[in-house]
Amino acid sequence: MPRKTTAPDAESADSKSARTRARLLDAAAHVLGRKGFAGTRLVDIAEQAQVQAPAIYYYFPSREDLVEAVVFAGAAAMRAHLEDALAALPPDTPAADRIAAAVAAHLRHELELSDYARAVVRNANQLPEPLARRALVEITAYYEIWRGLVEELRRTGQLRPDISPSIGRHVVLGALNWSVEWWNPDRGPLDEVIAVAQSMVLHALRP
């Protein structure tokens, strides 16, 4: 049996601290995704995490530091989720099918799988620049993946000649991101939303 490198009490304390910090991040992502940056208060996060509000300052110096950590984690997770979804496709997957898979990954992640993704989509453009700086690096990388997808469509002759690849990409992502403002499960199954979005995106981009 391998030896423990820390005392049991210290290890337990570290583990409890890490769990509490993770719970605070999860709670902040949940509140940010629903109330936005301006409407998010530490008391709301504390209530969601089931801790006393002053305890937050043990883990994060300020509300802004907590928000920054959430948005960065969410942006990195969005990029990784899209990369994984595309990597799971066969190497010879046509460009249009890769875009359809990206649409599904984007919507499912922000609407169903991740409060962090919702927090990023709803707040990235509202944050002061210092809070968004790290997240913007990941968001830029995410947009670069989409740039490559649309460029592949153009390179294979499947992009409408009257469509600017850059404008088309931004319009598509803007429409997908806007879904966090109106969708809820009572409006119908998410699979239906994804199917409609895939159809509309591909019909808009291709000849």
pLDDT digits (tens, 9 = 90+) for 81-139: 999 999 999 999 999 999 999 999 999 999 999 999 999 998 888 888 888 899 999 99
Is pLDDT above 60 for 46?
Answer: yes
**Residue 6 backbone zone (phi > 0: left; psi -120 to 50: alpha; other: beta):** beta
CB under 8 Å to 144, separation ≥6 — which residues? none
Count of helix runs (H) and strand runs (E) in the chain: 9, 0
* CA–CA dist 157, 169 (Å, integer): 16
Q: How far apart are CA 21 and CA 25, in angstroms?
A: 6
User: Dihedral of CA 60/62/63/65: which sign?
Assistant: negative
Q: Which residues, at least 6 apart from 129, have a Cβ–Cβ distance to it below 8 Å? A: none
Instruction: Say if residues 83 and 1 touch (Cβ distance below 8 Å).
Output: no
Q: What angle in degrees, to the nearest 10, is found between the helix axes of 115-123 and 63-87?
A: 110
159-184: burial string, b at 16+ Cβ within 10 Å, e else: beeebebeebbeebbeebbebbeebe
Give tens-digit pLDDT for 128-172: 888 889 999 999 999 999 999 999 999 999 999 999 999 999 999
Domain boundaries, the chain: 62-205
Q: Which fold has domain 62-205?
A: Tetracycline Repressor; domain 2 (1.10.357)
